[in-house]
Structure 1
Amino acid sequence: MNSHLVPKLLVSDADAAITFYTEALGAQLSLRVAEDGVVHHGELTLGSVVFALAQSAEEWGWADPGSVGGSPVLLVLTVADPDATADRMVKHGAEVVIPVGNRPYGKRQGRVKDPFGHLWVLSGELR
């Protein structure tokens, strides 16, 4: 059996998150499951990467970063142009945490916090 991991991001507004990730990252929505207007599962693809999201639900113990004081997880996304990706994310409401720059360990990286509190390390080749 082949194993695979699909991270599921819990967000305060699932439909707004779907819009953000499709516009800011170019992700494609492949599945949206909702009941009574609440998105319990949205699946997105970004190149060969698959990730999911869902509306936070206190009664299920599903807490988004804003409801617990921030995210303890860093999502590392390797892209062709981390500078342009960071710029697009900021244009759509993300916040720069660490500016993109050449790092001594051989990567061009920076960190942004998306509008839903998730932390993204944008990584690419040195310039």
Structure 2
Amino acid sequence: MATKKSLPRIYPHLIVKGAARAIDFYVETLGAKEVSRFADTKMNGHIVHAELTIGETTFSLSEEARDWKNDAPASLGGSPVILTVQVEDARAVGERMVHAGATVVYPIEDQFYGARQGRLVDPFGHLWIITQQIEDLSNEEIQRRVDAWTPDDSGTTKG
């Protein structure tokens, strides 16, 4: 029996304390679909790998296992990675996340670069940018707006 050859791809793998709760959180707040879940029955159901999708994007997660060097953000003092998810209604998704235990880092607001966007940290320590496109801008227009927004040498915003 031949195996299907797949193309290389990259997707995030989150390490969390409370993997089963994290799966429930991502399903409830981001509309994730659980594709698979594998647990080590010798370790009280420790989730060693679960795969989820949001839209066409795949991500996976597993339970923290410090002896395997799989450390969750809380064990490291925070996360250096930010996951961005594009949604149809950023405010509604942000509200669901907060209701389920996420904390707002930057509130969801209309941004000069054509997005309604904010940053939250989920109950497991992972950072998320929730974004909704509200303007269809060219790269040149975005750059013009970035240039106008960027503070000059005196520290004041141009434009």
User: What stretches of structure 2 of length at least 5 have no aligned partner?
Assistant: 1-5, 136-159
Q: 2:70 aligns with which of 62, 81, 89?
A: 62
Q: 1:9 aligns with which of 14, 20, 28?
A: 14
- What's the offset of the Cα at 1:106? 1.8
Q: Distance in 1 between matches of 2:58 and 2:93?
A: 18
Bigger strand share: 1
The AA in structure 2 aligned to 1:123 is T
CA RMSD of aligned residues (A): 1.2
- What's the offset of the Cα at 1:104? 1.4
Higher RCO by CA contacts (8 Å cutoff, separation 6 or greater): 1
Q: Distance in 1 between matches of 2:109 and 2:16?
A: 28
Q: 2:32 aligns with which of 14, 23, 27?
A: 27
**Equivalent residue of 2:28, what SS?**
helix
Runs of 4+ deviating beyond 3 Å: none
Q: Distance in 1 between matches of 2:131 and 2:20?
A: 26
Name the count of aligned residue pairs.
127
Bigger helix share: 2
Larger Rg: 2
**Equivalent residue of 1:54, what SS?**
strand
The AA in structure 1 aligned to 2:82 is L
The AA in structure 1 aligned to 2:23 is I
The AA in structure 2 aligned to 1:98 is Y
- What's the offset of the Cα at 1:3? 2.4
TM-score, scaled to structure 1: 0.95
TM-score, scaled to structure 2: 0.77
